[in-house]
Structure 1
């Protein structure tokens, strides 16, 4: 009987010591192979795979110990997929808490107003930690994968700053940007002026892209839109250089020549009335609103002063005088 009591006492002591060691380990900073360690938890990973992954990434601790901690804590099933980064001082308890809360390390990519889809794709390809799943896909294949087969991609993505988990796909960012543009366009179209000559949200998107490219000063957007809305209303050609440049594509070398303005293409708004067939860039929120809420003006012309602002004119004679003053320097 005494022997059993002694054995029981020893067992209790060992259990208490083990508990103390575990408690000490859980509150002790994890040794790291580098100042910071990153690891992406993929959806469907088991606790053992997650523990092994952290050790492989640079956490210098027994993978079995991490695994048993995840399992023993009762929170292993609550670990969220995502990209995580830890630095000096992080304990096993804090590591698990970080993953359970989904406290990810996010990267960002910024898409600029006025960019083309080609520029958009190039920026995504440069984005740190973003998987280039669309690299070998054509524009048409990308749109089909996004659920918009047959739709031209230009202007269909909202320019903004997008945060993403490292290891996310570029397609995921594209999808978010496309959904964002759909929402912003719907909101703008719902707020359109009753007098607007635009016939559809797509018309508004096309015009907004032109306003984006034609406006050097934010405060001029509504007036620029007013000029184009007036021209559309009376059937006058838009005569806007950015559409011609877009139609030239890679043939544009920085100089727009007279022959370019005279060569008839789908995007030449000098030779064809109305809007071009697609947007020519990604318009921002301000240009979307300007397209459907133009300034109340009789102006039919505008010319750049050379400082980003524009001079607006109601008559051709007045416009020609402004061109002589600000462009020809006469």
Structure 2
């Protein structure tokens, strides 16, 4: 997976430090601090809750009151000295007891120490995000209502494609609607999302998001712009897209799955083997790289592409060459290259 992405909304508020650096430097009293602790699986832990909007000094007080640090000020000073302290997320964190302030900060920044962390991976379906939200503690009804009532960008009618891939944690008391809105707002805050929403030309932002979801599902990141070009080339000559990923979306299956002839005959608006044009909605939630690939296709006349082996995706305009590569793919698959 890509590098971890932390929740941005509310993070600035958490990192905001209410005392000036001057005030810290002018403190005449010492800030007691535990030495760096040697931590193992048996080391005692505690789950603390960081409220949304908590200041650096408030976080320090929470750590001190829960026995994590020896003083509130020791954490505050460590936070002032480390700009990454602004990335501490609200919500629950699992920390060790009696550790140094620097260790406490590092643990607060460690996503593996966030219980019930919601991970929206690149290409995740809305149904998969729903499952994650239910595991987090929301009911299915609450999530469905949130999907229906969330505020979407102008011109969009469904959350599919707009639930931005990231790792999310929420402060205690956050509603399902607020959680889903956070994901939508993250999409709107990303440069790639802003570029897509502001796009004009032959394809609308809604269509571009569908293309981005296909690009995410079909290609490796190095090939995103090429896959984008193939999609456009086929659309522009009225050629069906014939993409396995759209059928996988219907069947809700993932991985290198052989697509049977029967599967290509499924009656669905998402079946690009039967239906011309784009699917009616995105087929997943694309990340920034796939969105940029959809917005900026490579130059080329390709109409076909196929991954013949892991990391080896080939592009061509020739159907004959594509069929040769398809035979090579079948040979490699049989030999276990995709296992």
Tell me the TM-score normalised to structure 2 length.
0.62
Which residue in 2 is equivalent to 1:324? 327
Structure 2 residue aligned with 1:186, among 194, 210, 230? 194
- Between the aligned partners of 1:253 and 1:292, the Cα distance in structure 2 is 26
Contact 1:222 1:294 in 2 (8 A): yes
Instruction: Give the alignment partner of residue 142 of structure 2, picking from 132, 137, 143.
Output: 137
Corresponding residue of 2:70: 90
- For structure 1, the residue ranges without an aligned partner over 5 or more in a row are 1-25, 44-77
Distance of 1:310 and 1:298 partners within structure 2: 16
2:151 to 147, 151, 166: 147
1:148 deviation in Å? 4.7
- Counterparts in 2 of 1:94 and 1:165: CA distance versus 1, 3 Å: farther
- Give the C-alpha shift of residue 135 in structure 1: 3.5
Q: Give the count of matched residue pairs.
A: 258
Aligned residue in 2 for 1:74: none
Determine if the alignment matches structure 1 residue 278 to structure 2 residue 281: yes
Change (3 A) 1:167 1:299: same
The alpha-carbon deviation at position 110 of structure 1 amounts to 2.8
Structure 2 counterpart of 1:204:
208
3-state DSSP of counterpart to 2:309? coil
Secondary structure at the residue paired with 2:163? Answer: coil
**Aligned 1:131-280 pairs, distance under 5 A:** 132-137=137-142, 139=144, 141-148=145-152, 151-165=157-171, 168-183=174-189, 184-190=192-198, 197-198=202-203, 200-215=204-219, 217-249=220-252, 256-280=259-283
Q: Distance in 2 between matches of 1:83 and 1:120?
A: 31
Q: Select between 204-213 and 147-156 the one with higher mean Cα deviation.
A: 147-156
RMSD of aligned residue pairs (Cα, Å): 4.2
Map 1:25-64; keep pairs closer than 5 Å: 35-38=44-47, 40=49
Aligned to 1:291: 294
1:313 to 2:316 alignment: yes
> Greater Rg, structure 1 or structure 2?
1
CA distance in 2, matches of 1:287, 1:319: 24
CA distance, structure 2, for counterparts of residue 142 and residue 241 of structure 1: 30
Deviation string 1:71-115 (CA, Å, 9 cap, x unpaired) is: xxxxxxx969x98673255348779999xx998656353321011
The residue matched to 2:118 in structure 1 has which SS? strand
Q: Deviations over 1:33-53 (max 9, x none)?
A: x9555554879xxxxxxxxxx
Bigger CA drift: 157-166 or 316-325? Answer: 157-166
Are the equivalent residues in 2 in contact too, given 1:266–1:272 (CA < 8 A)? Answer: yes
TM-score scaled to structure 1, two decimals?
0.64
Provide the secondary structure at the position in 2 that maps to 1:110: strand
Distance 1:114 1:163 in 2: 19
Residue 302 of structure 1: how far off its partner (Å)? 0.7
Gaps of 5+ in 2: 1-30, 35-42, 79-84, 94-107, 109-113, 335-339
Residues 304, 283 of structure 1: alpha-carbon distance in 2 compared, 3 angstrom cutoff: same
Aligned-partner Cα distance in 2 for 1:83–1:264: 57
Distance 1:96 1:311 in 2: 54
**3-state SS of 1:203 partner:** helix
Query: Displacement, 1:138?
Result: 5.5
Summarize the Cα distance change of 1:36–1:210 in structure 2 as closer, same or farther, 3 Å threshold. Answer: same
